[in-house]
Amino acid sequence: MTTKRLIIIIILLTALGLITAWQQIQTVRYGYKITTTAQSQNQLLETRKNLEVKLAEVKSPENLVIKADALKIMLTYPKNWNIVDLSQPPEKYAHIFQKQNNNRLPPDSRQVANKK
């Protein structure tokens, strides 16, 4: 073999070795990224479960009754006029909403609204 061929073979083997080493390093890096992402996903799933449990607890009727009692809110069953049938035209219930809105206005505003 000539020295020229020997130098070319050594350069090619060195390049091949460097490429192989680079691939191994990249494989390890991606492995670490996958592991940290999987851990993050597991942590987020656990947080989601905890939040769903907390939401269910907060929305539970028993909890709402306790909070209403603490705020001294009297809960009653709806009367017939409180129930709106959505299959009926909205004009049928316009007078109810108008009365409710007038009662929510401050006293001075009610007088102005009634004059209109």
| pLDDT beyond 80 at 82 | no
Specify the pLDDT at position 62.
Answer: 84
Q: At what angle do helices 94-104 and 107-115 cross, to 10 degrees?
A: 140
Specify the pLDDT at position 63.
Answer: 84
| pLDDT tens, residue by residue, 92-111 | 666 666 655 454 444 444 44
Specify the pLDDT at position 36.
Answer: 97
- What DSSP line would sit under 12-56, residue for residue? HHHHHHHHHHHHHHHHHHHHHHHHHHHHHHHHHHHHHHHHHHHHH
- The separation between CA 108 and the C-alpha centre of its own chain, rounded to angstroms, equals 43
State the pLDDT confidence band at 73, using cuts at 50, 70 and 90. Answer: confident
Specify the pLDDT at position 81.
Answer: 64
- What DSSP line would sit under 84-112, residue for residue? --TTS-GGGGHHHHHHHHHHHS-HHHHHH
